[in-house]
């Protein structure tokens, strides 16, 4: 039974990873700061992967970002920070909805949407705090304020729109649930 669980997790990881690459690679040509940042509609998947697929989804998101850097010839030392940020940001979203929030994930009310936006903004702030200093230390020629604004805007805007409609579709219409929400309850039963 455990082998089947591992197999399912690996299949899920590779499907999420492939979806990430399919969405991210075409947009690598739309660079804002060549080699460092581009238009990133793939950012809408950060909360999707985090909430509905847990740490496995967070890892697929980070690995997809790293492989996108490799394939698009924009692999830099700062890509290590990018991997950490693109794992940690979504993981913070998952941790909020599974460990801190006392309610089940839903975007049915204005309050829940505001909380969603605040949690995603905190995750993006984490990403900026991890990525920007690493780029600033290694690449003095990069416009750091522009990089910080670009990372923030790219992620926040795509996480909100089209992120919110996608989250509502997956949660309300297709029945996706927050992975890991009742972890403690599952282990004690």
pLDDT along the chain (189 residues), means of 10: 82 97 87 76 96 97 95 87 97 96 92 96 98 92 92 94 95 93 46
Judge residue 97's burial from the number of C-beta atoms within 10 Å of its C-beta, 0-12 exposed, 13-18 middle, 19 or more buried. Answer: buried
Sketch out the chain's domains with CATH numbers: 2-188 (1.10.1760)
H helices of the chain, where? 2-24, 45-71, 78-95, 110-138, 144-160, 163-168, 183-188
Q: How far apart are CA 169 and CA 107, in angstroms?
A: 10
Q: How far is CA 37 from CA 44, 61, 83, in A?
A: 16, 16, 14
Question: Which pLDDT value is given to residue 189?
Answer: 37
According to the model, what pLDDT value does residue 35 have?
A: 64
pLDDT value of residue 188: 37
What is the pTM for the complete model shown? 0.90
Please give the pLDDT value at position 170.
Answer: 96
pLDDT at 2: 66
């Amino acid at each position: 039974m455990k082998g089947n669980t591992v197999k399912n997790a690996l299949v899920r990881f590779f499907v999420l990873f492939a979806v990430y690459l399919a969405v991210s690679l075409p947009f690598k040509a739309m660079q804002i700061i060549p080699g460092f940042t581009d238009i990133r509609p793939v950012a809408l998947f950060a909360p999707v992967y985090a909430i509905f697929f847990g740490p496995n989804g967070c890892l697929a998101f980070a690995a997809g970002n790293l492989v996108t850097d490799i394939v698009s010839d924009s692999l830099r030392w700062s890509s290590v920070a990018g991997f950490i940020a693109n794992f940690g940001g979504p993981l913070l979203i998952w941790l909020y909805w599974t460990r801190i929030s006392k309610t089940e994930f839903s975007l049915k009310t204005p309050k829940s949407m505001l909380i969603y936006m605040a949690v995603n903004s905190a995750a993006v702030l984490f990403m900026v705090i991890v990525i920007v200093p690493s780029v600033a230390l290694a690449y003095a020629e990069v416009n750091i304020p522009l990089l910080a604004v670009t990372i923030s805007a790219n992620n926040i805007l795509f996480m909100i729109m089209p992120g919110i409609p996608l989250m509502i579709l997956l949660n309300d219409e297709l029945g996706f649930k927050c992975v890991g929400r009742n972890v403690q309850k599952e282990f004690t039963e």
